[in-house]
Each structure stands twice: as C-alpha cells, then as structure tokens.
Chains A and B, each alone.
Chain A
Amino acid sequence: MCSEKGKGEAMFTIDVSAFDDLLSAIKAKGYALLGPTIRDRVVVYDQISGSKDLPIGWSDRQEGGTYRLNKRKDQAFFGYSVGPQTWKKFLYPDHLKLWEAHSDGSRIEIEPATPESRRYALIGIRPCELAALAIHDRIFLEGPYLDPHYQALRADTFLLAVNCTEPGGTCFCHSMGSGPAVKQGFDLALTEIVENDDHYFLVNPGSDRGAEILQEVVYHEATAEETARAEKALSDAEYRMGRYMDIDNIRELLYRNLEHPYWEEIAKRCLNCANCTLVCPTCFCSTVEDSTDLSGASASRTRMWDSCFTSQFSYIHGGSVRQSAMARYRQWITHKLASWQDQFGTSGCVGCGRCITWCPVGIDITEAVWALRESEGETRREKTQLTGV
C-alpha cells in the first residue's frame, strides 16, 4: 500500500476560510507565493496573491495528447491534477547566464554570474512533484557536482503540499510509489475534503516552520471522522488513476529489450519534438550557448534547457550519435526507468503523466512498458492487482 506514514499523520483541521490566513502567514515570513492558476485554458504555475487566483471549481480531463479543463460541481480549491508546467521553471530556469567575459585586446576577464537567491513558497505542490524535487535536490545539492544557481534558488523554499484526491486520466504516481499522499520533504501537507456542505483541509505539519505557520491560523485537532474521510479519499484515489505501470524488475526489463522491434513501432509515431522532456518534472538536461557582441570584445555563456530528442544533444565529433527517433525515444525511456537507477539510485519517473498528456500524438510511457512485458509473455494485470510500492 501507499505509505501509511503520509496518510496517518494529518492531525489538524482548518476550515476553508482559514486557507488565505495560511497563505498570508507564509507571505508574512517573506516568501513569494507561487501556485496553480488558469491561463490560456490550462493550469499553470505563476505568482499568486491568494486563493482567488487558484483554479477554484475547476477540474481537468486528461488523455494521451489531450487536456481539457472542465467545471466541477463543487468549489474545490485543488480539484484538478497537474498541468503542463513544472516547478523547475522557477528552480531550474530555462535561460540562465553562467558567465560573461570581457577583453581589452590583451587580457580577458571572466565574471561568473552571481547566483540569485529567492524565497519561494510552492503552494499546492503535489506528491509526485515533491518526489521530483527530491530527485533534483539529490543531483544538484548532494553532488558530486553542485549547482550554485539551484542552491541559491532552492536554499529557502517553503513547501505547502497538497495530497491528490482527484487524480488525472494519465496519472500513475501510485505505481511509482510517489503518491497520491505525500510522505516527506514538505512543510505542510493538506488534504482537501469537499463533501455536501463541508469544505475543510486536514493539515499535516512536516517541519518546525510548517508547525509555526499553522499556529498563525484557526485550527483544531482533527476528529476521527475527519481523518477517516481523508484516508478514504486518498485510498480511493490510488485506484482512480487513469494509468498504471508495473515496475517490478523494470530496470532489467528495459536492459534486455534494447533491440526490441517495439522501438521502431514507436518511432513511427514519435515526432521527436521534445515536448515530453520539457514537461517532465525530473528531466534537467541542458546545453550551453556562447555568444559574443559584434566587436568580439564581450562574450557570455547561457545555460538553456535541452532535450535528448534533438540531434544536437548527442552531437560529438563526426556527428550525432542518435540520428533516429527510435534511438532517441529508447534513450529517453531507458534512462528514465532503468539507467537513472544506476546513476542516481531512484527511478527517473515519478508517475505525473505529463509526458503522456502533452505528447502531441499521445505516446504513452506506461503502454511502452506493457508492450515490452506482453512481448515476453506476461499478461497485463489489472490495476487492483498492482500493489504499489
């Protein structure tokens, strides 16, 4: 089952009317509030000033290559699943100047860019996204190669997590062991309950500063009934996800199928447009671009998001190593699900489903795994037969 730890610990309850007090208390500590809001018919992450900016009363329908917002019958604050953007847009920005160099004709001086500190509060970060954040933390903060820019942006982040009681059509976090309830690495975790005339949040403090913030608002100790409702909502969510993936020995599954004909089948559909990697909360590959002014007296280096789906990504002396869409898709999924484990000790996939929804032609990572398994004679198991991690 999904972590009992995450589910059992929600000990306090706040009324929906106290939610803005919670945000004000966080803001008063000097954090910039970032959270979900609706723009261009999708849920994006941006600066918010309060609950009025949240997609209240909205839900979404997600399928391979399709995303539509729709109205809910209730006024839930968090009744939708993740949209196309990820928090990496704030903590690992797309365009980042690394250094500038100036020449006076005889000497060259290099000025590294000073890492900019930010105090972000990520409002409504989901369990799968917390798992992705933990992956980036391990890579950028725990070495062997520290990223001073990530370090500065991430140094003081307040994490107001929201458990998922309304999973989406392409979600499969339960299979990946990253949701629908948060386990760790948050300051406060909320579970929203909207039933009949009741609308409240169960609050689980995950850190001292989270507990301090909670002291600033009106709360009470959760009743047994409130806790039971939250637990039921979360255990129901486990089996309401639109996708599931069997990750049993998945590393070996992929390694022994590197020459599988399925990759050519996928390549017929894959546009190698890079959308999957750019919407992925864990993909962090980047490239650097060097530019000059017209005179050549100044130069600068900028870090930009890159993708293993471009030919330049694997360009070395003599040409691109991965010329075909087949090679690029195989590389991506094998890294995500198998070699990531060798490299960083975890799966590179957290089951958020973005790559499925935002693939313009609906290519599905969970289907790829099932296709490999079925070709080896396994029968596809039902959702309820998968126990999760």
Chain B
Amino acid sequence: MKTSTQPKPKIAVWKFASCDGCQLSLLDCEDEILALAGSVEIAYFPEASRAFVKGPYDLSLVEGSITTPHDAERIHKVRRSSRVLITIGACATAGGIQALRNFSDVNDYIPMVYASPEYITTLKKSTPINEHVYVDYELRGCPISKHQLLEVLNAYLNGRKPNIVPRSVCMECKAGGNPCLMVAEGIPCLGPVTQAGCGAICPSYHRGCFGCFGPKETPNTASLSDWFSRLGLSKPAILQQFRGYNGYAEPFRKESEILEYESE
C-alpha cells in the first residue's frame, strides 16, 4: 500500500494514426475517473485538457499506428520521455484498420482520396508501435475495454501483474451462458482464435466475433478457415473475416495471405 507522501505517478496519453476511440475509453471511466485522478497525475492528455506538464513521464499510454515519417520519429521521443510505455488498441498493437493498405500499394489510393496528392507524405505501411520502439505492455481491442484499461492502471499502481489473459473469446461466451453461434446456427465467428477481453459482446448480441481483440495465444486460424468453408463461405469471404481491425497481426495476416494465394 502506498502512502500519501509518495508523489503521484505522471501519466501521458499520446495519439498517433487512430480514431481517438481508445483514449476516450479513459474518459469513459465515469465512475472510476475521480478515484483514478486521485491516484495519478494526468500530465499530458490533449483530448482531456490543454494544461500540459512537461516530461519525463512515469507511464505513457500510446494510441494509434505509425503511418508517416514524422510519426516514425515522434514515437522515439515519446519512448525516451516514458519510464513505462503501454500501447492501447488495435492501431497501436497491430496497425489498425488502416493497415489494410499494407496489402496493396498506398500510392494507388492517395489520388483517389486527396485532391492535392502532392501534399501527402505517408509511409507504405501502417505499423504497430512495437515495430519501432520497445513496448512494455500491450492492451488489445478496437476499441480497448475500459475495464482492462482500469485493470492495467490499477496493476501498475499496485506493482502487480494485470489480470488480462490471452485466452479465447469462447471462454467469455461460456462464462456468460451464450450458446455457440457457430455450432447452434452455423454463423461464422472468429471467437475461437480471438483474444478475450471484450466480454464476448458481439456473440451476446447474436453476431459472430469480428476479432477486435486480435489473435489469442496459439491461434489455429487454418482449422477455423477450413470450418468456415464447410459452413459455406468462399475463400475470398473467409479472407475478409481475417482482414479486419487486426488484419496485420501476424497470425491473421498469414492466414489471409494464404487464402489470397489460394484464391488466385
């Protein structure tokens, strides 16, 4: 237990290529945010306050992926000013939905999107933070779960391991009493290869898992693909399943590339 004489840890929240949804999870901690504000000093969080406290910071939460040469440099500055760096969300941990560009040539898209493409400086790939700097802990999700965010901050404050395990979404479905959608209705679901943490929200609302929390430990994507085709999905349709918010996470990327190769 900490005493009140200890200085409060300084926390910074950084944004790279992302939609802001994950850092908003912090503001979404309505009931807990006051207690949290009592335990930490929120030193840099542009989404919440224009009052900035200079670094270095004890803990940095990093949202977003690296998509520009400028950001590829900036992340090193963030790392240098942070004692502990935790990435939050699918963009920061796997490149995000914008990493779909990694499967084609980004230069083909720029003129379609921007009126003056000459002003655009972008990298060929959208990459996760851990491809650039050392990351102490990764929090998955699109968006992250606010419960997991609080848990990781709580664990940090108490010097313990976070209770976040890379098991399957199926285990959350079973704990919640959801019958398996794939078995009972033949609905394709990424749950068996996806990491738990969301509380199995999609299957609870009668939708197959989209894989927002990325691959679980030892995911058997090939076997699931095989079962999807037995459920009647075409190879391109199965490919789409794996190429989502976490499409660039290695197990999902490899599976979709195999499917792409086999579809050609």
Give A contacts to B, CB under 8 Å: 39-42, 44, 65-68, 83-85, 89, 94-95, 103, 105, 268-275, 278-279, 289-297, 304-305, 307, 310-312, 323-325, 357-358, 360-362
Contact = CB atoms under 8 A, between A and B. Distances in A.
B179 A296 contact: no
A296 B157 contact: yes
Contacts of A311: 166, 217-218
Contact of B183 (A65, A292, A325): A65
A361 B227 contact: yes
B116 to A, nearest CB: 48
B171 interface: yes
Given A40-B178, A269-B223, A312-B167, A325 B218 contact: yes
Contact of A270 (B166, B185, B186, B220): B220
B218 A275 contact: no
A360 B224 contact: yes
B157 A95 contact: no
B81 interface: no
Classify chain B's interface size. Answer: 35 or more
Interface string B109-124: 0000000000000000
A278 B173 CA distance: 10
A267 to B, nearest CB: 8
Interface string B207-222: 0000000000111101
Contacts of B186: 66
B183 A67 contact: yes
A295 B39 contact: yes
B167 A294 contact: no
Contacts of A291: 151, 154, 163
A271 to B, nearest CB: 4
Given A294-B157, A312-B165, 8 more contacts: A271-B223, A273-B192, A292-B154, A294-B154, A305-B171, A310-B171, A360-B189, A360-B227
A94 B217 CA distance: 22
Contact of B174 (A39, A42, A275): A275
A105 B1 CA distance: 7
B165 A310 contact: yes
A275 B178 CA distance: 12
A36 B206 CA distance: 21
Contact of A360 (B36, B170, B177): B170
A67 B166 CA distance: 28
Given A272-B220, A360-B170, A294 B183 contact: no
Nearest to B206: A40
Given A66-B183, A324-B218, A268 B177 contact: no
B160 interface: yes
A199 B117 CA distance: 78
A68 B184 contact: yes
Contacts of A271: 168, 192-193, 219-220, 223-224
Contacts of B51: none
B3 interface: yes
B185 A41 contact: yes
A65 B192 CA distance: 13
Identify the interface centre among A84, A290, A293, A325: most chain B CB within 10 Å of its CB: A84
A375 to B, nearest CB: 22
26 contacts: A40-B206, A67-B183, A83-B179, A84-B179, A84-B180, A268-B220, A271-B192, A271-B193, A271-B224, A272-B220, A273-B171, A273-B192, A274-B171, A275-B192, A290-B160, A290-B163, A292-B160, A294-B39, A294-B153, A295-B2, A296-B1, A310-B167, A311-B166, A325-B220, A360-B192, A360-B224
Nearest to B151: A291
A310 B35 CA distance: 34
